[in-house]
Amino acid sequence: MTRNMDDYVERFDVKWEVDPESGCWEWTAGKGGNGYGRFHLRLGFGRYQSGLAHRVSWELRRGLIPEGLQIDHLCRNRACVNPAHLELVTPRENVMRGDSPRLARERWRAQTHCKRGHSLTDPRNVYVIQTTGSRQCRACRCITAAQRKAAAV
C-alpha cells in the first residue's frame, strides 16, 4: 500500500465508531440527506471529490468495485462502513433487496400463496378489487366473513 493510501486509511478510520450490538462501523462524519456517509478525497492542488463512505471503505480494504456492480448493505444500515457488512451485487439485485413500497407491491404480486396457504394462481380463488387492482384470496375472505358473522351473534 502506498503512503497515499495509508493517509486515506488514517483519515477514514477516525470517522467511524463500532456499534457493539450490531458490529456496524457507524459513520460519524458528514452524511447526505439519504443517510449515506460522505468522504472527501483529496485530488491535489486544493481539489476534492466527495465519495460515498461505504464505497470508499470497500475500495480501501477490498479493492476496486468492478464496473456494473454496486455495494449492498447486508445490515440494512446506510451509515455502516464495515466491509464485512457490505457485498458486491448487480444493480437489479440491490434494488430487489430494497424495501421501497414499489418493490413490496412487486413481491406481493409475485406471491403464489396467501398467508394461510391458499393458491393465488387459481383465478377462481382470487378476488380483484377493481378500484385498486389489489388481489385478495377468496377462501380467506369467506373465512373472515364467517368469523365476523359468528362474532356478531
- Percentage with pLDDT > 70 across the chain: 96
- Please report the DSSP string for 70-126 in residue order: EEEETT--TTB--GGGEEEE-HHHHHHTS--HHHHHHHHHH-SB-TT--BSSSGGGE
pLDDT at 61 over 90: yes
pLDDT at 44 over 80: no
> What's the pLDDT tens digit per position in 80-134?
999 999 999 999 888 888 777 777 667 777 788 888 999 988 889 998 888 877 7
Q: What's the pTM?
A: 0.63
Residues of the chain with CATH 3.90.75.20: 3-96
- Give the mean model confidence (pLDDT) for residues 72-83: 95
pLDDT value at residue 83: 96
Domain at 3-96, CATH from 3.30.1460.30, 3.30.413.10, 3.30.930.10, 3.90.75.20: 3.90.75.20
pLDDT value at residue 50: 84
- Give the mean model confidence (pLDDT) for residues 40-64: 88
Exposed e or buried b per residue across 34-60, where buried means at least 16 C-beta atoms within 10 angstroms of its C-beta:
eebbebeeeeeeeeeeeebbbbbbbbb
pLDDT value at residue 41: 82
**Residue 89 burial by Cβ neighbours in a 10 Å radius (0-12, 13-18, 19+):** middle
Higher pLDDT, 17 or 120: 17
